[in-house]
Amino acid sequence: MLKQRIITVLWLLPLVIGAIFFLPAEYFAWVLVPVFMIGAKEWGSFIDPQCKVTQWTFTVTVSVILLALNFIVPVDAMWLKGQLHPIFVSIIAIGAFWWFLSALLVISFPKTDSMWKNSPMLKSMFGQLTLIPCFVALITLKSISSNVDPYFGGTLVFLVMLVVWAADTGAYFAGRAFGKHKLMPNVSPNKTLEGLLGGLLATLVVAFGVMYYSPEQELALVITVTLITALASAFGDLSESMFKRAADIKDSGTILPGHGGVLDRMDSLTAALPIFTLIYIAFWI
């Protein structure tokens, strides 16, 4: 298993980094579509693990929405006088609000799962609220200042990924070393409160790295945004775990050997990206 995980990382990471930094934003927006189509297919199994029709219907619905967004709001029309297109602003804001509601669902699981567990319509809506704002947030970050500095947007995307990776890594090692108090055993039995705190502390390394390379930034703001993004990423992970547990599924898919599915790799990002993007366009631009 470990060998498979390492091999997958060795071929996947260069592709991800290459797309983030070297693909022009207009191409990046289209390359994301098949990735999110796979994620939508995997979410379809959360809706109904046994019904292929339901899974493919959800996949097609999400795919049509993503394609429509790329046609209706192309990258060269996303920004006007430094302001993001209102459609994208609305989607990101709705996504942020969804993660507030999702956090409540996670905290109250399984007491409240009876409200949505047997409702394909609600689980489909939850899937759209998880995937589409993440898609929009990725394109938004990637396109920021792309006509001035082609690497600036990619750096922002990579920064969010660094925060998520630091949070995951810190949580893993802190949890193994000090973990005693279960965080949310009904959702994810292996996660601990000590692991969460360790992950949040680990992200401070990223915050201080930002200050080192960009000392003109306000330290308190950088630390606050970093911690909020890391906390959102933790709930993104827990949210997917909740939906998998409700559907009695171990992994979202098998497309990434040793890692599971696309959603298993981007679950934290689905929450972190919209939250970070909303804060960035509200306070930093």
Structural domain tally of the chain?
1
Using a pLDDT cut of 70, give the percent of the chain over it.
97
The pLDDT tens digits for 25-77 are 999 999 999 999 999 999 999 999 999 999 999 999 999 999 999 999 999 99
Q: Answer whether residue 4 shows pLDDT above 90.
A: no
Q: Is the pTM of this model over 0.85?
A: yes
Task: Determine the pLDDT at residue 147.
Answer: 80
What are 161-215's pLDDT values in tens digits? 999 999 999 999 999 999 999 999 999 999 999 999 999 999 999 999 999 999 9
Residue 1, SS3 per DSSP: coil
Domain that includes residue 24, residue range: 2-283
Among the ranges given (58-62, 240-244, 255-259), the one the predictor scored with the smallest mean pLDDT: 255-259
The helix/strand count (H/E) of the chain reads as 9, 4
pLDDT at 272: 98
Give dist(CA 247, CA 43) in Å, integer: 10
5 band by pLDDT with thresholds 50, 70 and 90: low
Beta strand extents in the chain (DSSP E only): 79-80, 83-84, 182-184, 188-192
pLDDT cut 90: percent of the chain above it: 84
- What's the token pair of residue 16? 């991800």
Mean pLDDT of the chain: 93
pLDDT over 80 (residue 261): yes
